């Protein structure tokens, strides 16, 4: 989603739907509910999305694409594996604190994704995990790939717990999560 300009109507719909899905669950929200929350009629929503399934699919595909794209960029800009992993941690923590609703939706409403979107998200997520795993293996000699992937998943679990446990002000939560994840990954 755009950060330097006003959100488009499509971005507004996605953000509003994410909040509604996070609060009430995918099945507890209708197209009319999304439209009303955006100040448009339910049928007007169909000008932007073919269905509620399409809203969920675009929401979760987009965030998976963004995580991977920014992650690749930050990793590529780093001079070494340790710095790359710190940049990846910083990025993922920033995402988790800014987009808590998306974490809840991903976790709780995953099974509601249409099969094609589910496979697309899984493919993107595997690439994101492998980005972290590659850098972990550069940092830790003789770390098997499956262990590196498990470490990445464990770090995501710690960071993604923020929707449920983010009780500190944002800057303090960011520092705490970053420190904990870096220690877990061996980059501190």
Which residue did the predictor score with more confidence, 4 or 167?
A: 167
pLDDT at 2 (0 to 100): 46
Q: Which tokens belong to 102?
A: 């998306």
Give dist(CA 92, CA 71) in Å, integer. Answer: 8
Contacts of 135 (CB under 8 A, 6+ apart): 75, 81, 84, 85, 88
Supply the pTM of this predicted model. 0.90
Q: Where are the domains of the chain?
A: 52-185
Q: Mean pLDDT over residues 96-125, rounded?
A: 94
The listed CATH number (1.10.357.10, 3.40.50.2300, 1.10.580.10, 3.40.50.300) that belongs to domain 52-185: 1.10.357.10
* Burial group, residue 88, by CB count within 10 angstroms (0-12, 13-18, 19+): buried
pLDDT given for residue 42 in this prediction: 80
What is the rounded CA–CA span in Å between residue 150 and residue 139?
Answer: 15
Residues 127-183 pLDDT 10s: 999 999 999 999 999 999 999 999 999 999 999 987 666 678 888 999 999 999 999
């Amino acid at each position: 989603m755009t950060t330097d300009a006003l959100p488009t109507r499509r971005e507004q719909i996605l953000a509003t739907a994410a909040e509604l899905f996070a609060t009430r669950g995918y099945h507890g929200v209708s197209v009319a509910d999304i439209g009303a929350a955006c100040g448009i009629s339910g049928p007007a929503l169909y000008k932007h999305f073919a269905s509620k399934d399409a809203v969920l699919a675009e929401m979760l595909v987009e965030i998976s694409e963004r995580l991977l794209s920014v992650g690749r960029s930050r990793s590529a800009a780093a001079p070494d594996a340790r710095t790359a992993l710190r940049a990846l941690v910083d990025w993922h923590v920033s995402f988790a604190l800014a987009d808590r609703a998306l974490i809840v939706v991903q976790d709780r409403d995953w099974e509601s994704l249409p099969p094609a979107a589910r496979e697309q998200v899984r493919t993107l997520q595997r690439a994101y995990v492998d980005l972290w795993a590659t850098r972990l293996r550069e940092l830790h000699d003789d770390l098997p790939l499956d262990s590196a992937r498990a470490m990445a998943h464990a770090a995501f679990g710690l960071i993604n717990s923020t929707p449920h446990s983010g009780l500190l002000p944002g800057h303090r939560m960011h520092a705490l999560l970053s420190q904990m994840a870096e220690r877990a990954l061996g980059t501190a």
